[in-house]
Structure 1
Amino acid sequence: MNTTYFKATLREITYSWGKFISIVLIILLGSLLYVGIRATGPDLDNSAARYFNQHNLGDLTVTSTLGLTGKDLRLIKNAPHVATAEANHMVVTKKSQDEVVSVSSFSQSTKLNRLKLVSGHLPRSRDQIVLDSKAKQRGYKLGQAYRVPKTAGLRQQTYKIVGFVNSPLFVSSTDRGTTNLGSGEIDYFAYLPKQAFNQSTYGSIAVKFNNTAGLAAGTDKYNERVQSDQAQLEKRLKQRPEQRQKEIVQPQLATINSKLNQLDKQTSQLSQVPAAYQTTQMKTAANKLKAGRQQLVSAKTKLLKTPTAVYMYGDRTTNVGYQDYFDESKSIAAIAVIFPGFFLFIAVLITFTTISRMIEKNRREIGLMRALGYTKGVISMKYVIYSLLAGILGSLIGGVAGMLTLPKFIFSMLSNNNLTHYVGVIPWGYLVEALVAGLIATLGSAAVVLIINLREKPMDLMRERAPKAGKRILLERIKPLWRRLSFNQKVSYRNLFRYKGRMIMTIVGIAGCTGLMLAGFGIRNSVNDLLPDQFSQVQHYQGIVTLSAANKRIHDKNISAQKQALVKSVTVSPTKGTKRNATVTMISPKSNTNFDKYVTLTNPHTNRKEHLTNDGVIITEKLATDMNAKKGSHLSVKVGNKLVKVKVSGITKNYAGHYLYLTPKYYEQAANANYQPTSRLIKIKDGNATARHDTNQRLFKQAGVLNVSYPRYAGGSLTTGGLSSVVLIFIALSGALGLVVLYNLTNVNISERMRELSTVKVLGFYDNEVTAYVARENVILTILGIIFGWFIGIVLHHFIMIKAQTGAILFPLTIHYPSYIWSAILTIVFSLIVGVITHYKLKNIDMMDSLAAQE
Structure 2
Amino acid sequence: MKPLTRNMYRDIGKSKGRFIAIILIIMLGVLTFVGVKAAGPSLNDSLDKTVTAKKLSDIQVISTTGFTKKDIDLAQKTKGAKAETVKYKQVTGGKSHVAISLYGYKKANNQNQLIVRSGRLPKNNSEIILDQVAKTKYNYKLGDKFTFDKSADLKSRTYKVVGFASSPQYIDNESRGSSNVGDGTVRMFAYIYDKQMNLPFATELNVRFKSLQAKNTFTNSYKDAVDDKVDSLKARFKNRASTRTKSLLGDNLSVINSQQEQLDQAKSQLQQAKSLGSDVTSQEQTLNAQQAKLTAAKKKLQEQTKTTYTWQTREDLPGFSDYGESSDRIAAIANVFPVFFFLIAALITFTTITRMIEEARGQIGTFKALGYTKWEIAKNYFYYALAAGLIGTIMGAVIGNESLPRIVLALYKQYIPLTWDVKFQWVYALLALAFSLIATVAAAMIVVRQELSEGPADLMRPKAPKSAKKILLERIKPLWNHLSFNRKVSYRNLFRFKSRMFMTIIGIAGGTALILTGFGIQNSIGASGTRQYNEIFNYQAVVRLTKNNQTKKALKVLNDSKQYRSSTAISATTGKVFANGKNVDDVNIYTPENKDFSKYIHLENTKKNKTIKLKDNEVVLTKKMANTLNVKAGDSIKINTTNNKGGKIKVSAVTQNFVGHFMYLNKETYNQLFKTQPKVNTLLVNLSTQTNKQRNSLANKLLNHGGVVGTSYTYDQQSTIAKMTSSLKPIVLIFILLSGVLSFVVLYNLTNINVSERIRELSTIKVLGFYNNEVTMYIVRENIILTIMGIIVGYGVGNLLTAYILNQASTPLVIFPLTISVIGYIVATVLMILFTMIVMLITHQKLKGIDMIGALKSNE
Amino acid at match of 1:101: I
Deviation at 1:776, TM superposition (A): 2.2
Matched AA of 1:111: N
Query: CA 1:422/1:591 → structure 2, altered by over 3 Å: closer, same or farther?
Result: same
Q: How does 1:784-803 map to 2 (within 5 A)?
A: 784-803=789-808
Contact 2:591 2:666 in 1 (8 A): yes
CA distance in 1, matches of 2:163, 2:451: 76
Equivalent residue number for residue 550 of structure 2: none
**Alpha-carbon distance change, 633 to 698 in structure 1, aligned in 2, over 3 angstroms:** closer
Q: How does 1:484-523 map to 2 (within 5 A)?
A: 484-523=482-521
Aligned in 2, Cα 1:680/1:518: closer, same or farther, shift over 3 Å?
A: closer
Tell me the equivalent position of 2:258.
258
Asked if residue 19 in structure 1 is aligned to residue 23 in structure 2, the reply is no
Shift of 1:591: 3.2
Q: Which of these residues, 561, 565, 577, is aligned with residue 561 of structure 1?
A: 565
Provide the secondary structure at the position in 2 that maps to 1:837.
Answer: helix
CA contact (8 A) 1:327 1:807 kept: no
**Partner of 1:461 in structure 2?**
459
In 2, Cα distance between equivalents of 1:590 and 1:397: 62
Deviations 1:479-510 (A, max 9, x none): 33333333332222222222222222221111
Q: Does 1:752 align with 2:753?
A: no
Is residue 556–residue 698 contact of structure 1 (8 Å, CA) maintained in 2?
Answer: no
- Does the 8 Å CA contact 2:183/2:696 hold for their aligned counterparts? no
Q: Deviations over 1:321-362 (max 9, x none)?
A: 001111111111110111111111111111111111111111
Closer/same/farther in 2, CA of residues 489 and 841 from structure 1, 3 Å limit: same
| Residue 724 of structure 2, aligned match among 703, 714, 720 | 720
Structure-2 change in CA distance of 1:141 and 1:644 (3 Å)? farther
- Structure 2 residue 313 is the aligned partner of structure 1 residue 315: yes
The code of the aligned residue for 2:331 comes to: A
Q: Aligned pair in 2 of structure 1 residues 775, 142: CA closer, same or farther (>3 Å)?
A: closer
Within 5 Å, which residues of 2 pair with 1:73-92? Answer: 73-79=72-78, 81-92=79-90
Q: Could you say what secondary structure the match of 1:550 adopts?
A: helix
Higher mean C-alpha deviation, range 536-545 or range 322-331: 536-545
Within a 5 Å distance, the mapping from 1:201-216 to structure 2 comes to: 201-216=201-216
How far apart, CA to CA, are the structure 1 residues paired with 2:802 and 2:507? 18
* Cα displacement (A) at 1:272: 6.6
Q: Is the 8 A contact 2:576 2:639 kept in 1?
A: no
Superposition RMSD in Å: 4.2
Compare 483-492 and 314-323 and name the one that shifted more: 483-492
1:761-793: CA deviation from partner (whole Å, max 9, x where unpaired) = 222322222222222222222222112111110
Is the Cα–Cα contact under 8 Å of residues 169 and 319 in structure 1 kept in the other structure? yes
Pair 607,315 (structure 1): closer, same or farther in 2 beyond 3 Å: farther
Distance 2:28 2:815 in 1: 31
Which residue is 2:146 aligned to? 146
What one-letter code is carried by the residue in structure 2 that aligns with 1:596?
Answer: S
The 3 A distance-change label for structure 1 pair 547 and 268 is closer
Point out the more displaced range, 97-106 or 152-161. 152-161
Q: Does 1:839 align with 2:838?
A: no
Shift of 1:804: 3.3
- Aligned-pair CA distance for 1:683: 2.9
Shift of 1:694: 7.9
Alignment of 1:531-542 (within 5 A): 531-542=529-540
Contact 1:130 1:164 (8 Å CA) reproduced? yes
SS in 1 for 2:454: coil
Change (3 A) 1:561 1:151: closer
Partner residue, 2:229: 229
Q: 1:571: Cα distance to partner?
A: 9.9
Tell me the distance in 2 between the aligned counterparts of 1:629 and 1:50: 42
Aligned counterparts of 2:814 and 2:613: Cα–Cα separation in 1:
23
Residues 611-620 or 427-436, more deviating: 611-620
Count of matched residue positions in the alignment of Structure 1 and Structure 2 = 838
Q: Distance in 2 between matches of 1:837 and 1:118?
A: 52
**Is it true that 1:597 corresponds to 2:595 in the alignment?**
no
In the TM superposition, what are the counterparts of 1:470-481 in structure 2 within 5 Å? 470-481=468-479
The answer to whether the 8 A contact 2:569-2:594 is kept is no
Displacement of 1:8 in angstroms is 2.2
SS of the residue 1:313 aligns to? strand
Deviates more, 1:492-501 or 1:48-57: 492-501
Where does structure 1 lack aligned partners over 5 or more consecutive residues? 638-642
Tell me the equivalent position of 1:640. none
Conservation of the 8 A alpha-carbon contact between 2:605 and 2:611: yes
Partner of 1:220: 220
Moved more, 203-212 or 315-324: 203-212
How many Å separate the matches in 2 of 1:274 and 1:467?
Answer: 127
Q: Equivalent residue for 1:391?
A: 389
- Please identify, of 669-678 and 114-123, the stretch whose mean Cα deviation from structure 2 is larger: 669-678
Residues 244-296 of structure 1 show CA distances to partners (whole Å, capped at 9, x for unaligned) of: 55555676554433222222334456667798897x9x875564334423544
One-letter code aligned to 2:594? N
- Please give the alpha-carbon distance, in whole angstroms, between the structure 2 residues aligned to 1:76 and 1:207: 8
* CA distances 1:662-690 after superposition (whole Å, capped 9, x unpaired): 989979x9999996768671332xx486x
Query: What amino acid is aligned across from residue 778 of structure 1 in structure 2?
Result: N
- AA aligned to 2:595 is T
Could you tell me how far apart the structure 2 residues matched to 1:232 and 1:503 are? Answer: 66
User: Given residue 30 of structure 1, which amino acid in structure 2 is its aligned partner?
Assistant: G
Q: Hey, what's the Cα distance between the residues in 2 that align with 1:753 and 1:69? A: 88
Secondary structure of the residue that 2:554 maps to in structure 1?
coil
Equivalent position SS for 1:63: strand
| Cα separation, 2, equivalents of 1:588 and 1:252 | 43
Q: Evaluate the alpha carbon distance shift between residue 91 and residue 590 of structure 1 in structure 2; reply closer, same or farther with a 3 A threshold.
A: farther
1:208 shift after superposition: 1.6
Quote the residue 1:433 is aligned against. Answer: 431
Q: Is the 1:324–1:807 contact (alpha carbons within 8 Å) kept by the matching residues of 2? A: no
Structure 1 distance, partners of 2:326, 2:142, is 34
Q: 2:747, 2:839 within 8 Å by CA — same for their partners in 1?
A: yes
State the match for 2:366 in structure 1.
368
Q: Is the Cα contact below 8 Å between 1:245 and 1:307 reproduced in 2?
A: yes
Q: Match of 2:232, SS?
A: helix
Deviations, residues 734-786 of structure 1 (Å, cap 9, x unaligned): 11111110110011111111122222222232222222222222222222211
Closer/same/farther in 2, CA of residues 507 and 273 from structure 1, 3 Å limit: closer
Call closer, same or farther: CA 1:43–1:701 in 2, change over 3 Å: closer
Contact residue 655 and residue 810 of structure 1 kept, 8 A: yes
Among candidates 849, 852, 855, match of residue 857 of structure 2: 852
- Name 2:549's counterpart in structure 1: none
| CA distance, structure 2, for counterparts of residue 260 and residue 786 of structure 1 | 87
> Structure 1 length as normaliser, TM-score?
0.86
2:110 aligns to what?
A: 111
**Matches of 1:467 and 1:529 in 2, distance apart?**
53
- Structure 1 distance, partners of 2:484, 2:313, is 74
1:729 aligns to what? 734
**8 Å Cα contact 1:546/1:680 also seen in 2:** no
Unaligned runs of 5+ in 2: 547-552
Alignment partners' CA distance in 2, 1:244 and 1:521:
57
Do 1:241 and 1:310's aligned partners in 2 also have CA atoms closer than 8 Å? yes
Task: Return closer, same or farther for 1:759/1:519 CA change in 2, 3 Å cut-off.
Answer: same
Where 1:773 maps in the other structure, the secondary structure is helix
**Farther off after superposition, 809-818 or 783-792:** 809-818
Assess if the C-alpha contact under 8 Å between 2:60 and 2:205 holds in 1. Answer: yes
The one-letter amino acid of 2:205's match is I
Q: For 1:477 and 1:451, locate their aligned partners in 2 and report how far apart those are by CA, in whole Å.
A: 39
> SS of the residue aligned with 1:130?
strand
**Equivalent residues of 1:88, 1:203 under 8 A apart:** yes
Deviates more, 1:86-95 or 1:497-506: 86-95
Q: Is the 8 A contact 1:182 1:546 kept in 2?
A: no
Q: Secondary structure at the match of 1:720?
A: helix
Secondary structure of the 2:414 match is: coil
- Report the secondary structure of 1:203's partner residue: strand
- Answer with 707-716 or 492-501: which moved more: 707-716
Query: How far did residue 520 of structure 1 move?
Result: 1.8
Distance 1:117 1:708, change over 3 A: same
Secondary structure of the residue aligned to 1:523 is helix
Indicate the residue corresponding to 1:162 in structure 2.
162
Equivalent residue number for residue 37 of structure 1: 36
